Amino acid sequence: MNKPTVNPPIRRVVTGHDANQVAKVLMDSPATNSKGPGTGLVSTLIWSTDCTPAKVPLGEAIEDEGARVLGSAPPPNGSRFAVIEFPPGVISAMHRTETIDYVIVIEGEIDMDMDDSTVKLRYGDVMVQRGTNHAWVNRSDKKARVAFVLIDAEPLGIGHPVLGKSSAG
């Protein structure tokens, strides 16, 4: 199976500190941890964390937390940062995660369908999505590129949320 490609690639720059506690760039290369269901939709994991507050150890030998294999939700008490490309006509499954999501449209436009309403987001728009049931739909004739930061939240106790899972990878 071929790995889905993001066009253009997403440049990922990760900073940290060397052994002398001097701030520096530790990684600067295209993000390559991409996956897709075969519909043209491509999700590229940029970074994740396992806890809040996040651990930010000193030193240049850090784990590439963007190389992990995650589901839709972040690890328990953690976060997940991904950029997703939605080609024209793509409709995601209706789903809900137990998360606070920060959503930023960085190219094109995308609709978020909820139980009985729809909101259109355009380039530059931002959304705070608070554990609602939703599906992403690209009804335009151009690609939409959207950045998502998901932060684990306390369960609402409603419906059937998508649960997180993680593994190093």
Q: Which CATH class, in words, describes the domain spanning 11-167?
A: mainly beta
Residue 159, pLDDT score: 76
Residue 162, pLDDT score: 73
Residue 70, pLDDT score: 87
Q: Tens of pLDDT along 9-30?
A: 899 999 999 889 999 999 999 9
% of the chain beyond a pLDDT of 90 = 70
Q: Distances in Å between the alpha carbon of 109 and those of 84, 131, 153?
A: 12, 21, 27
Mean pLDDT of the chain: 90
Q: Tens of pLDDT along 108-127?
A: 999 999 999 999 999 999 99
Residue range 83-91: mean pLDDT, rounded = 95
Q: In this structure, how many other beta carbons lie within 10 angstroms of the beta carbon of residue 58?
A: 11
77: Cβ contacts below 8 Å, ≥ 6 apart: 50, 51, 52, 152
123 touches 105 (CB < 8 A): yes
The answer to whether residue 73 scores a pLDDT higher than 70 is yes
Q: Tens of pLDDT along 46-63?
A: 999 999 899 888 888 899
